[in-house]
């Protein structure tokens, strides 16, 4: 992988709401080697969130494009999340080095839940991943941070891995409250998940103001926030979880900006929206690491 390099010094001053955090200081070659080793253990992960897009014909064409894509980097994990109605088709036809995810789940056992899809059903059909807590579900479906945490715990208990989303709106970013929002979203997760549970959780930081808008956080903004999240995990969960949990960036990631974003030491992958519907562009994003 070309994105991980041994920096001699990484010191991030996080100044929002008066908070000042020195995240990482590396003062010797030995410590530099340890940092590279730590990052190498966090395998880069690229997720494609197809949202509520696609027809039978377009999904078939997208699968063909993805299957034909030449992946030059083997050190990357890929997860594609089609709409529920296409899950079985994608699961059966998509290349086997890519995993398939659902975009939501019902956190109850199978039963009289009209219109819902329990986690057990996903697990039984071989689905291994689920996206939870996306800002669109928080905003449009009333999912609170507590609900997202409970769904994450339920999914993990049922054997699924999660891409659990967090992120702030534009007003929070502009008023300097980004970290306050992240605190509120992370705390229920820290309260309900055990240290072992975190092994099946990927955090997807998606600034809401950058989702589908064409606006993208600068690499420096994204890195600052990812570093804060990692420090928060160290302070509120454990050093082990902080070092091992993968943190994706999402928010108008495309084949033009992925390489620069992916070079940041605390960005461990991407959750991609619109560009994941274009086989060539998504393959370029995968190869950007």
CB atoms within 10 A of CB 80: 24
Residue numbers annotated as active site? 134, 206
The Cα 46–Cα 79 span in angstroms is 6
For the chain, the DSSP string reads: --S----S----B--GGG---B-----SHHHHHHHHHHHHHS-EEEEEE-TT---HHHHHHHHHHHHH-----SSEEEEEE--GGGHHHHHHHS-TTEEEEES--BSS-SSS-TT--BHHHHHHTT--EEEE--HHHHHHS---HHHHHHHHHHHHHTT-EEEEEE---HHHHHTT-HHHHHHHHHHHHHHH--TTGGGGEEEEE--GGGSSSS----HHHHHHHHHHHHHHHHHHT-HHHHHH--EEEESS--TTTHHHHHTSTT--EEEESGGGGSHHHHHHHHHT-
- Measured in degrees and rounded to the nearest 5, phi and psi for residue 168 equal -105, 155
The encoded tokens of residue 228 equal: 């804060």
Nearest-angstrom CA–CA distance, 80 and 94: 9
């Amino acid at each position: 992988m070309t994105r991980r390099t041994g920096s001699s010094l990484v010191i991030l001053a996080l100044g929002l709401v008066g908070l000042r955090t020195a995240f990482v200081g590396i003062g010797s070659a030995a410590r530099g080697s340890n940092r590279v080793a730590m990052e190498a253990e966090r395998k880069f992960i690229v997720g494609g969130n197809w949202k509520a897009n696609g027809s039978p014909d377009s999904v078939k064409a997208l699968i063909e494009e993805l299957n034909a894509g030449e992946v030059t980097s083997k050190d990357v994990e890929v997860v594609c999340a089609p709409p529920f109605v296409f899950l079985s088709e994608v699961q059966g036809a998509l290349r086997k080095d890519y995993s398939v995810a659902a975009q939501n789940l019902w956190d109850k056992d199978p039963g009289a839940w009209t219109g819902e899809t329990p986690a057990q059903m996903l697990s039984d059909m071989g689905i291994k991943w689920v996206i939870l807590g996306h800002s669109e579900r928080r905003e449009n479906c009333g999912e609170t941070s507590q609900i997202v945490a409970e769904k994450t715990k339920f999914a993990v208990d049922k054997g699924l891995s999660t891409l659990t989303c967090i992120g702030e709106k534009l007003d929070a970013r502009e008023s300097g409250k980004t970290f306050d929002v992240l605190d509120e979203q992370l705390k229920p997760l820290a309260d309900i998940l055990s240290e072992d549970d975190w092994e099946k959780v990927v955090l997807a930081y998606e600034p809401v103001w950058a989702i589908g808008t064409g606006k993208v956080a600068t690499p420096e903004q994204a890195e600052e926030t990812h570093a804060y999240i990692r420090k928060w995990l160290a302070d509120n969960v454990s050093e082990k979880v902080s070092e091992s949990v993968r943190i994706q960036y999402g928010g108008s990631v495309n084949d033009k900006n992925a390489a620069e974003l992916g070079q940041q030491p605390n960005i461990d992958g991407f959750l991609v929206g619109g560009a994941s519907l274009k086989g060539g562009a998504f393959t370029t994003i995968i190869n950007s690491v």
